[in-house]
Chains A and B, each alone.
Chain A
């Protein structure tokens, strides 16, 4: 709309135009997002809210009368004063750090090694996915037998090369955590491999050609081109795997039951004990929310790094 005075009209026109642009620009995007959003909200909102709500109550799942007593934040207070919970948090952090770092390195290495599209490497890649196909609980049970000090395969060979195993990798205080981490690495490093593989496949070719022309070695190319370009993928892999690793349960349940002592009692396992052995649902829900907050904090750190990347 034209006016005698140009400035206000132009500004208003810009504003209108930009709103329209956003709307028109993003309308289709909203349409593509909405189905999932609606689905998730409908399905997950009640359970999420239930979990938040019940953490403020005292509630025994198996109580025939299903009594729920409101106790405010005392579940949370109890958690912060509970040495078992604090230990579980510590153990969980160690576990997550160990698994994620090793899996990251191993996954990246495997993806690089097996990146070519030869028949053989493709087949090897497919076979490497087998560990993921087994339920973590079963994986734990199988590895428990492999680790058995008396007739397990691994201690047998360790003893052959002169390494004593004492009570076994899962029963010795110093070995239990590394042993359990190894099981997780066995199962999930291939997933990292896949994520990195997809990332590698979408890297542009030009930088490599330029580097080769400049005489860069394979290692140089990897360190100075591949790694920086893969940063978003690396962060993505870190993010997803960290969140998963925080929630580990089956493996611990099947192998050590949180022992020996409580050196492998991760928080999610402790939550299960509280909820399923003591049926103290209110406290379990509070602990679950605390776990979620810890994961959220870490994730926010990752995301901030990711966001800076996307710019």
Chain B
């Protein structure tokens, strides 16, 4: 209705989208082709995008010799754990801060913000020492806990903003009808902020998924995650680009699947018609 776009506008938009896709996908495409190339062709000049000697050798090597399956599993466990925990803890907290009038409560929000400002290294060493002393080093729990601290802080601030966008009138109407605060949150505010929750979830999943520094210090050989697995292709003499590209693809695939799945929830908020006048 109001979105009547002229052909010119459509064309311009199409061109821009194509440019964006080219820019963002070029390195990914390079990785894909490198995964299927022999090592000697990885850097052939002129670059071979479409026609090259195809091989599955890199895949065979990676699957045969390294524990890629285990790495992917570990990454999934840790990412899922951190996401679930940070959403469960963070989303209600974000709502509470958005709705509450208490200065004190609002102040605590800044404490979470402080966490996001801390350079990770500063937290890592003491956290490492604690985990060592309580014998949790190398467990899934150690990494999930540390990731959640930062992830939840991020979730709180994102949800605070999105919940603030949800008009209070509906909830207040519900209060008049006798609903509790918690059910107002669960039945009204939350459904209206699903896009925000999805955005927060995506961010948290990604953040835990590609974390390298914490994983390096806190995992054991059994709980190693994918980023560390990718690094094993770097020897002191050379880099096996073919194998590294394959492992990168294994790193990307689950994330891509999850985001394809979650993108469905980026639906238009059901706020239209519900606000005043």
B121 touches A127 (CB 8 A): no
Q: Closest residue of chain A to B239, judged by CB?
A: A141
A32–B275 Cα distance when bound, in Å, is 26
Chain A residues whose CB sits within 8 angstroms of the CB of B275 once the complex forms: 204, 206
A271 touches B119 (CB 8 A): yes
A33 touches B210 (CB 8 A): no
A199–B166 Cα distance when bound, in Å, is 11
B256 touches A205 (CB 8 A): no
B93 touches A233 (CB 8 A): no
A308–B22 Cα distance when bound, in Å, is 39
Query: Does A94 sit at the interface, judged by CB under 8 A?
Result: no
The count of residues in chain A whose C-beta lies closer than 8 Å to any C-beta of chain B is: 101
Take A47-B123, A123-B260, A146-B27 as given contacts and tell me if A201 and B266 are in contact as well, using a CB distance cutoff of 8 Å. Answer: yes
Query: Does B21 sit at the interface, judged by CB under 8 A?
Result: yes
The count of residues in chain B whose C-beta lies closer than 8 Å to any C-beta of chain A is: 110
A130 touches B145 (CB 8 A): no
Query: Does B180 sit at the interface, judged by CB under 8 A?
Result: yes
A146–B34 Cα distance when bound, in Å, is 12
A153–B47 Cα distance when bound, in Å, is 6
Query: Does A186 sit at the interface, judged by CB under 8 A?
Result: yes
Q: Closest residue of chain A to B234, judged by CB?
A: A141
Partner among B45, B206, B259 whose Cβ is within 8 Å of the Cβ of A156: B45
Scan A152-190; emit 1 where CB is below 8 A from any B CB, else 0. 110010000000000000000000000000000010011
Interfacial residues, chain B to chain A (CB-CB below 8 A):
1-2, 5, 9, 13, 16-17, 20-21, 23-28, 30-31, 43-47, 89-90, 92-93, 95-97, 99-102, 105, 108, 110-123, 125-127, 130, 145-146, 148-149, 152-154, 156-158, 161-162, 164-166, 180-182, 185, 192-193, 195-196, 198-199, 202-203, 206, 209-213, 226-227, 230-231, 234, 239, 241, 244, 248, 251-252, 255-256, 259-260, 263-264, 266-269, 271-272, 275
Interfacial residues, chain A to chain B (CB-CB below 8 A):
22, 25-26, 28-33, 35-37, 39-40, 43-44, 46-48, 50-51, 61, 109-110, 113-114, 117, 122-139, 141-143, 145-146, 148, 151-153, 156, 186, 189-191, 194-195, 197-199, 201-206, 208-209, 212, 218, 232-233, 236, 239-240, 243-244, 246-247, 249-250, 268, 271-272, 275, 281, 284-285, 288-289, 291-292, 295-296, 299, 303, 310
Q: Which 8 A-B pairs have the closest CB atoms?
A: A133-B255, A28-B181, A50-B126, A212-B2, A135-B227, A32-B92, A47-B126, A29-B96
